[in-house]
Structure 1
Amino acid sequence: MKKIEYIILLIFISFTACIDVEEEVYDKYAAKDFYASPEGSDAALASVYAQIPGNWDGVGYAGADNGWYDLNTMSTDEQVIPHRNTGDWQTEFARLYMRDWQPTNYLLNNTWNWLYQSVFRANTAIEQLEEAGAEAGKIAEARILRAFFYYLLIDDFGDVPFFTRNEQPVDSIPQTSRSDVFDFVVSELENNIDDLSTQKGGNYYGRLNRWAGLSILAKIYLNAEVYVGTPMYDECLTVVNEIINEGGFSLHSGEADPSHPLGSRYYELFGDVCPDDETIWAIYTTADVVGRNIFTIRSLMGNDGTLLVGYGAWNGTVVPPDFVAKYEDNDVRKRQFRYGTDPYGPQPDGFIEYTLEIDNLINPGSEPEAGVRNQKFWPVEPMSSGGASNDFPIYRYADILLMKAECLVRLGQSAEAKSFVDEVRERAGLNPLAGDPTLTDIYEERGRELNWEAHRRQDMIRFGTFTEGHGLVPAVDEKYLLFPIPTAALNANPRLEQNPGW
Structure 2
Amino acid sequence: MKPIHKIATLFALTTALTVSSCVNDLDREPKFDVTSASVYADPANYKAVLAKLYAVMSVSGQQGPSGKPDISGIDEGTSNYMRLLWKLQELPTDEAVIGWNDQTIQDFHAMRWTSSDGFVTAMYNRIFYLVAACNEFIRETGDDRLATRNITGDAATNARTYRAEARFLRALAYYHAIDMFGNVPFVTEADAPGSFLPRQATRQELFNYVESELKALETELSAPRQAEYGRADQAAVWTLLAKLYLNAQVYTGTARWNDVITYTSKVIGANAYTLESTYGNLFLADNNTSRETILPVTFDGLNTKTYGGMTFLIHASIGGSMPVREFGVNSGWAGLRTTSALVGQFTDPSGRTDKRAMFYSQGQTLEIADITRFTDGYAVTKYKNVTRAGQAGKDPAGDFVDTDFPLFRLADVYLMYAEAVVRGGTGGSAANALNYVNLLRQRAYGGTTGNIITAQLTTDFILAERARELYWEGTRRTDLIRFNRFTEGTYLWPWKGGIAPGRAVEAFRTLYPIPATDLVANPNLKQNTGY
Q: 1:156 is matched by which residue type in structure 2? A: M
Q: Could you say what secondary structure the match of 2:336 adopts?
A: coil
Which residue of structure 1 lines up, in the alignment, with residue 366 of structure 2?
Answer: 356
Distance in 1 (CA, whole Å) between partners of 2:146 and 2:93 is: 44
Deviation readout 1:291-326 (Å, 9 max, x if unpaired)? 451223212116745464462211101100111111
Deviation readout 1:113-155 (Å, 9 max, x if unpaired)? 1111101110011011112263232221111111110110111
Structure 1 position 229 matched with structure 2 position 239: no
Which residue of structure 2 lines up, in the alignment, with residue 297 of structure 1?
Answer: 315
Which residue of structure 1 lines up, in the alignment, with residue 477 of structure 2?
Answer: 457
Which residue of structure 1 lines up, in the alignment, with residue 347 of structure 2?
Answer: 328
Distance in 1 (CA, whole Å) between partners of 2:36 and 2:214 is: 35
Q: Could you say what secondary structure the match of 1:252 adopts?
A: coil
1:240 aligned residue (264, 286, 299) = 264
Structure 1 position 337 matched with structure 2 position 359: yes
Distance in 2 (CA, whole Å) between partners of 1:216 and 1:168 is: 28
2:277 aligned residue (253, 257, 262) = 253
Which residue of structure 2 lines up, in the alignment, with residue 122 of structure 1?
Answer: 134
How much has 1:170 moved relative to structure 2? 8.3
1:391 aligned residue (404, 418, 425) = 404
Which residue of structure 2 lines up, in the alignment, with residue 349 of structure 1?
Answer: none
Which residue of structure 2 lines up, in the alignment, with residue 71 of structure 1?
Answer: 88
Which residue of structure 2 lines up, in the alignment, with residue 347 of structure 1?
Answer: none
Q: 2:221 is matched by which residue type in structure 1? A: L
Report 1:7-406 matches (<5 A): 8-16=4-12, 31-32=40-41, 34-35=42-43, 39-55=44-60, 56-62=76-82, 64=83, 67-83=84-100, 89-90=101-102, 92-130=104-142, 131-132=145-146, 134-135=156-157, 136-165=160-189, 167-169=192-194, 172-198=197-223, 200=225, 204-254=228-278, 266-274=279-287, 275-287=289-301, 289-290=303-304, 291=306, 292-293=309-310, 294-301=312-319, 304=322, 306=324, 308-309=326-327, 311-329=330-348, 330-340=352-362, 353-361=363-371, 365-366=372-373, 368-380=374-386, 381-383=393-395, 386-406=399-419
C-alpha distance 60-331 of structure 1, shift in aligned 2 (>3 A) = farther
* Number of corresponding residues: 454
Which residue of structure 1 lines up, in the alignment, with residue 493 of structure 2?
Answer: 470
Moved more, 389-398 or 89-98: 89-98
Q: Could you say what secondary structure the match of 2:255 adopts?
A: coil
Distance in 2 (CA, whole Å) between partners of 1:15 and 1:127 is: 19
Moved more, 472-481 or 378-387: 378-387
Structure 1: gaps of 5 or more residues: 84-88, 255-265, 341-352
Q: 1:459 is matched by which residue type in structure 2? A: D
Moved more, 74-83 or 142-151: 74-83
Identity, in percent, stands at 30
How much has 1:332 moved relative to structure 2? 4.0
Q: 2:380 is matched by which residue type in structure 1? A: N
How much has 1:470 moved relative to structure 2? 2.2
Which residue of structure 2 lines up, in the alignment, with residue 448 of structure 1?
Answer: 468
How much has 1:58 moved relative to structure 2? 4.1
C-alpha distance 438-22 of structure 1, shift in aligned 2 (>3 A) = closer
Is the 2:313–2:383 contact (alpha carbons within 8 Å) kept by the matching residues of 1? Answer: yes
Distance in 2 (CA, whole Å) between partners of 1:395 and 1:170 is: 36
Is the 1:305–1:312 contact (alpha carbons within 8 Å) kept by the matching residues of 2? Answer: no
Distance in 1 (CA, whole Å) between partners of 2:195 and 2:119 is: 21
Is the 2:225–2:272 contact (alpha carbons within 8 Å) kept by the matching residues of 1? Answer: no
Q: Could you say what secondary structure the match of 1:92 adopts?
A: coil
C-alpha distance 246-25 of structure 1, shift in aligned 2 (>3 A) = closer
Is the 1:58–1:114 contact (alpha carbons within 8 Å) kept by the matching residues of 2? Answer: no
Distance in 1 (CA, whole Å) between partners of 2:188 and 2:332 is: 42
C-alpha distance 104-22 of structure 1, shift in aligned 2 (>3 A) = closer
Q: 1:122 is matched by which residue type in structure 2? A: C
Distance in 2 (CA, whole Å) between partners of 1:70 and 1:326 is: 21
Is the 2:2–2:298 contact (alpha carbons within 8 Å) kept by the matching residues of 1? Answer: no
Q: TM-score scaled by structure 1?
A: 0.84
Deviation readout 1:234-260 (Å, 9 max, x if unpaired)? 111111111101142111102xxxxxx
- What is the RMSD computed on CA atoms of the aligned residues? 2.6
C-alpha distance 14-54 of structure 1, shift in aligned 2 (>3 A) = closer
Q: Could you say what secondary structure the match of 2:105 adopts?
A: helix
Q: 1:46 is matched by which residue type in structure 2? A: A
Is the 2:282–2:290 contact (alpha carbons within 8 Å) kept by the matching residues of 1? Answer: no
Q: Could you say what secondary structure the match of 1:194 adopts?
A: coil
How much has 1:448 moved relative to structure 2? 0.6
Is the 2:318–2:333 contact (alpha carbons within 8 Å) kept by the matching residues of 1? Answer: yes
Distance in 2 (CA, whole Å) between partners of 1:23 and 1:355 is: 53
Is the 1:125–1:142 contact (alpha carbons within 8 Å) kept by the matching residues of 2? Answer: yes
